[in-house]
């Protein structure tokens, strides 16, 4: 057995070196100019819930609400609602993109071997491009508008019909949510090289490059297996609020913990993404509108 | 006289107790009657040894103490878990109210402080229940330290954090002769090796559990570690490695034998399941054989347990639906009797299932 003095030295060294590696890494991430800085609001950064153990957590972490824009809706149905943080199959994540990301998609999906092959593929970590208030969001907004107009027209053409009245009301609420509440942060591209993605998306105040996972999934479409790429998750989707900005969120959290979720919290937060693409909050303030 | 470990000191104390009882019997039966001087010399020697062990290792000096020590071991284990959870929730309750520098300082000082206290307790109280408690809290503080640094600075999750955790757990285990910390270190090692194995196929490391075959390299490494690194001075450590090695092998095999679709093997699910069912039977039978041959009772017991689980799983697949339940359970019971008969024959035909478990 080791003597206690050697153990003490070895253990202290291990703890210090581990902390040093983590802290130097964090300092390196934040050194120099950030890779990108996005000005986000309560639409893109949600407050934590306070159920379970979270109720005892004195720290505040904001959840990054990202979305994807799926394919154009078919038929008379409304736009497929894209919930923040929920995996989704964007239209840009096609076969060519999947190949570029390193997925082996050479096996036809409509064979037994193909099904087996794609069932076994697990998520890969890649670089994702987040777009704030860009064309993806505006297309989603446009779809919600068209859907609302269509439902309103049907309602007017069928006066007194409760079903059309309910649908028109729901579509209007959807549009309202899309205009005022839903996240405007969309995952719009993926790649393996930061430089190449930054060259393609040079605006550092609108596009952030982050790490996330893509996975493949076989879906059934008209009784045929269709291969889709899914944005599975972001590697970091929670951002810790430092003590200096705590007073911005404290009153809103207090309301939430008292169950007053109907009070809309409004704030603006600058989130920087550093050399290692890890985020941190640089400014935060409460806003009236 | 040098005593390498608490376990060996306890073994010697138990031997002394047995010797004293047998000596009393021999005296009563008139087989051996030592002189008063001899009796006193032996008693003084034993008394001195027991006092020395009790001071150095907090061992159980008599049967009464031994009975109590099981309760103390359970209390120490539960206490260690509860204290570790308490440390976590204490920090969780207040960390948001400190500036970043203070958060980092508290985490670092907690990890260093609890580690220092563990070494200090070990130096003063030897290898006892208090040392185990302190060591577990020190390990929890270090895990909390790294996890919270990741959260404070929004650091990308990495499997590399498992390396220092495993290193600290193993350092405490080998210094303080603690099997609980050895188990914690081994679990970190299993997670790291399995995550690395998974990333070789291109997957994101957090999904390593979705392919049970990722655990096989860690299982093989754990099973052979006691063969490469001698553990004579750490009683019971070799057995812990072998048991974890077998668990890391047979649990994934059990999963694959029932859900072939999660395998790496690019074969039909039924073929994969059949392959791993055969592998499970042959592997567990081989473990029983090897354990019996090498005098590793823990390997025999783990092998028997998994053999029975594999067998009963198959029985369930084959007969649960088609057999009346009384017949199903009769077959299961008769199989248990058959296994007992086989093991009994093994025992009487030369295999010794008890022993010191030489690594």
Q: What is the largest CA-CA distance in chain B?
A: 79
* Least confident range of A188-192, A268-272, B93-97: B93-97
Six-digit token string for B73:
């071991």
What is the C-alpha separation between B249 and B305, in angstroms, rounded?
Answer: 13
Contact B295, B357 (CB under 8 A): yes
Q: In whole numbers, what is the pLDDT of chain B averaged over residues?
A: 87
Residue A94 has a pLDDT of 87
Question: Beta-strand (E) ranges in chain A?
Answer: 36-41, 45-46, 61-64, 124-132, 185-191, 207-221, 224-234, 238-240, 267-273, 279-286
Mean pLDDT on A36-65: 86
Q: Predicted confidence band at B358 (pLDDT cuts at 50, 70, 90)?
A: very low
Q: Among residues of chain A, what percentage have pLDDT more than 90?
A: 48
Virtual CA dihedral for B19, B25, B31, B36, nearest 10 degrees?
Answer: 70
pLDDT at residue A229 is higher than 80: yes
Mean pLDDT on B298-315: 92
Of B272 and B124, which is predicted with more confidence? B272
pLDDT at residue B55 is higher than 80: no
CA distances from A175 to A25, A46, A152, A179, B245 (A): 43, 20, 12, 6, 57
Contact B315, B282 (CB under 8 A): no
pLDDT at residue B350 is higher than 70: no
What is the C-alpha separation between B64 and B287, in angstroms, rounded?
Answer: 37
Closest CA to A35 of A237, A282, A273: A273
From edge to edge, which strands make up the β-sheet containing A61-64?
A45-46, A61-64, A238-240
User: Which residues of chain B make contact with A8, given a CB cutoff of 8 A?
Assistant: 115-116, 119
The ipTM is: 0.88
Closest CA to B292 of B357, B236, B337, B234: B357
Considering only residues 79 to 118 of chain A, which have any Cβ-Cβ distance to chain B shorter than 8 Å? Answer: 102, 113, 116-117
CB of A35 less than 8 A from some CB of B: no
Residue A81 has a pLDDT of 54
* Least confident range of A218-222, B94-98, B310-314: A218-222
Q: What is the least distance, in Å, from the CA of A286 to any CA of chain B?
A: 19
Q: Which residues pair with A228 in a beta bridge?
A: A217
Considering only residues 225 to 264 of chain B, which have any Cβ-Cβ distance to chain A shorter than 8 Å? Answer: 233-234, 261, 263-264
Residue B197 has a pLDDT of 94
What is the C-alpha separation between B140 and B137, in angstroms, rounded?
Answer: 5
Q: Predicted confidence band at B349 (pLDDT cuts at 50, 70, 90)?
A: low
**Does the reported pTM lie above 0.90?**
no
Q: What is the pLDDT of residues A87-144, one digit of tens each?
A: 668 888 988 999 999 998 888 888 888 888 888 888 999 999 999 999 999 998 998 8
Six-digit token string for A69:
């824009």
Q: Predicted confidence band at B125 (pLDDT cuts at 50, 70, 90)?
A: low
Three-state SS at B233: coil
pLDDT at residue A86 is higher than 60: no
pLDDT at residue B49 is higher than 70: yes
Helix axes A4-30, B100-125, angle to 10 degrees: 170
User: Which residues of chain A make contact with B201, given a CB cutoff of 8 A?
Assistant: 122
Contact B48, B13 (CB under 8 A): no
Cβ contact (<8 Å) for B204 and A124? yes
The pair phi, psi for residue A225, each rounded to 5°, is: -70, 130
What is the C-alpha separation between A284 and A271, in angstroms, rounded?
Answer: 9
Q: Predicted confidence band at B356 (pLDDT cuts at 50, 70, 90)?
A: very low
What is the C-alpha separation between B93 and B71, in angstroms, rounded?
Answer: 32
């Amino acid at each position: 057995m080791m003597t206690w003095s050697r153990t003490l030295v070895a253990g202290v060294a291990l703890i210090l070196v581990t902390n040093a590696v983590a802290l130097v890494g964090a300092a390196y991430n934040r050194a120099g100019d950030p890779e990108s800085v996005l000005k986000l609001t309560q639409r893109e950064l949600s407050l934590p819930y306070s159920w379970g153990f979270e109720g005892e957590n004195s720290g505040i972490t904001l959840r990054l609400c990202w979305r994807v824009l799926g394919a154009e809706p078919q038929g008379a149905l409304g736009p497929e609602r894209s919930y923040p943080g929920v995996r989704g199959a964007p239209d840009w994540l096609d076969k060519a993109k999947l190949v570029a990301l390193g997925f082996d998609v050479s096996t036809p999906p409509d064979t037994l071997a193909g099904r087996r092959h794609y069932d076994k593929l697990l998520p890969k970590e890649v670089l994702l491009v987040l777009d704030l208030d860009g064309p993806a969001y505006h297309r989603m907004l446009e779809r919600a508008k068209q859907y609302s107009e269509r439902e309103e027209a049907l309602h007017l053409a069928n006066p007194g019909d409760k079903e059309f009245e309910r649908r028109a009301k729901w579509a209007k609420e959807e549009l309202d949510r899309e205009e005022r509440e839903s996240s405007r942060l969309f995952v719009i591209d993926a790649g393996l090289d930061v430089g190449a993605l930054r060259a393609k998306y040079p605006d550092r105040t609108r596009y952030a490059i982050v790490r996330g996972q893509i996975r493949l999934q076989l879906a059934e479409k008209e009784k045929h297996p269709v291969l889709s790429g899914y944005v599975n998750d972001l590697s970091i989707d929670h951002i810790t609020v430092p003590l200096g900005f705590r007073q911005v969120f404290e009153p809103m959290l207090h309301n939430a913990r008292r169950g007053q979720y109907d009070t809309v919290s409004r704030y603006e937060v600058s989130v920087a993404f550093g050399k290692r693409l890890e985020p941190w909050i640089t400014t935060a303030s409460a806003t009236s509108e | 006289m040098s005593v390498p470990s608490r376990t060996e000191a306890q073994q010697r104390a138990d031997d002394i107790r047995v010797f004293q009882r047998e000596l009393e019997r021999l005296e009563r039966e008139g087989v051996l009657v030592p002189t008063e001087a001899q009796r006193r010399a032996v008693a003084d020697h034993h008394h001195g040894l027991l006092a020395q062990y009790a001071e150095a290792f907090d061992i159980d000096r008599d049967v009464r103490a031994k009975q109590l020590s099981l309760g103390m071991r359970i209390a120490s284990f539960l206490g260690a878990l509860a204290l570790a959870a308490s440390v976590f929730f204490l920090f969780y309750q207040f960390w948001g109210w400190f500036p970043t520098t203070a958060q980092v300082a508290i985490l670092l000082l907690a990890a260093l402080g609890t580690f220092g206290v563990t070494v200090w307790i070990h130096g003063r109280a030897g290898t006892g229940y208090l040392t185990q408690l302190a060591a577990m809290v020190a390990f929890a503080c270090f895990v909390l330290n790294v996890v919270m640094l990741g959260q404070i600075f929004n650091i990308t999750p990495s499997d590399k954090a498992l390396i220092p955790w495993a290193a600290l757990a193993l350092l405490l285990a080998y210094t303080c002769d603690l099997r609980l910390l050895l188990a914690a270190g081994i679990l970190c090692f299993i997670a790291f090796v399995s995550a690395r194995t998974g990333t070789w196929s291109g997957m994101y490391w957090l999904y390593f559990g979705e392919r049970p075959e990722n655990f096989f390299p860690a299982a093989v490494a754990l099973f052979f570690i006691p063969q490469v690194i001698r553990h004579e001075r750490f009683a019971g450590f070799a057995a812990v490695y072998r048991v974890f090695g077998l668990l890391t092998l047979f649990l994934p095999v059990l999963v694959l034998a029932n859900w072939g679709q999660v395998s790496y093997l690019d074969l039909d699910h039924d073929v994969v399941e059949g392959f791993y069912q055969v592998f499970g039977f042959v592997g567990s039978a081989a473990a029983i054989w090897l354990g019996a041959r090498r005098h590793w009772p823990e390997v025999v017991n783990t092998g028997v347990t998994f053999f029975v689980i594999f067998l009963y799983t198959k029985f369930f697949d084959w007969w649960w639906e088609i057999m009346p339940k009384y017949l199903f359970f009769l077959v299961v019971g008769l199989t248990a009797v058959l296994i007992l008969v086989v093991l009994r024959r093994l025992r009487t035909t030369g295999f010794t299932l008890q022993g010191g478990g030489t690594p």
